[in-house]
Amino acid sequence: MRYCWTLFITLVVAEELVAAAPPPIRYTYRKIHDPDGIGKFYMGREIAWVMGYQGADWLDRPEREKEEHTSKLLKALALKPGMVVADLGAGSGYYTFPMAQLVGPKGKVYAVDVQQEMLDIIKRRMRARKVENVLPVLSTETDPKLPQGKIDLILMVDVYHELSHPYEMVREMVKALKPGGLLVFVEYRLEDPNVPIKLVHKMSEKQVIREMQPHPVRHLKTLDTLPWQHVIFFEKE
């Protein structure tokens, strides 16, 4: 009897300790840091400043195809007519419009961005090009505002490293994917010193995989056939 009471009291105390435990500390902050970063760190990596809409011309630069082989990336996504996909951190829509063409009129592309000015550029281009299967979505820093369980593939080109709340954003992205849906990261290779991009705007494959560990996704494959970027595929479990 005494044993039962001791066990009961131990369980109650343990439960109260768990309830009183502070929430996990996901992010840390440093005063001395890379000037291209925001001084906020996730799993040892400094988060970069968001690229402002004033830089949209750089995203549309004509030499981008030659530098980054953007059409090769699109091919690697294997998009099919009728698919529902998201271009997360769509910027000026450099990838949104070819994606819209690949999924066709029966498919759709959610063009998600946290800057209204980027979405305004996309909306102007939709009107000028008479594109109807793109849905512009204004996200917050913690929520991409996508419908749950409806998306076949989410693409992030040169975006993830600048999400101010990477854990929360990926948690919501995974909810938005269908089971078996794909989350695709395209990041400049940190491992390659010849890639001419600022340090905090690059990511190693190892770091991306580490940061996906808290989420119910599995690393499917990494393509390293683009000149500057990794293409890292995860599948929702």
Residues that bind ligand SAM (CB under 6 A): 50-51, 59, 89-91, 94-95, 112-115, 118, 139, 141, 157-159, 162-163, 169
Nearer to ligand SAM, 44 or 57 (CB): 57
CA distances in angstroms from 221 to 151, 171, 184, 218, 225, listed in the order given: 19, 20, 10, 9, 12
Which two structure tokens, joined as six digits, stand for 179?
Answer: 């089971």
To ligand SAM, the closest distance from the beta carbon of 107 in angstroms equals 19
Residue 188: how many CB atoms within 10 A of its CB? 20
Q: What is the DSSP letter of 195?
A: S
To ligand SAM, the closest distance from the beta carbon of 17 in angstroms equals 35
Q: Which helix (H) or strand (E) holds 48?
A: strand 45-48
Which two structure tokens, joined as six digits, stand for 102?
Answer: 């690949």
To ligand SAM, the closest distance from the beta carbon of 189 in angstroms equals 15
Nearer to ligand SAM, 37 or 91 (CB): 91
Nearer to ligand SAM, 94 or 234 (CB): 94
Which two structure tokens, joined as six digits, stand for 3?
Answer: 């044993």
Nearer to ligand SAM, 109 or 114 (CB): 114
To ligand SAM, the closest distance from the beta carbon of 11 in angstroms equals 41
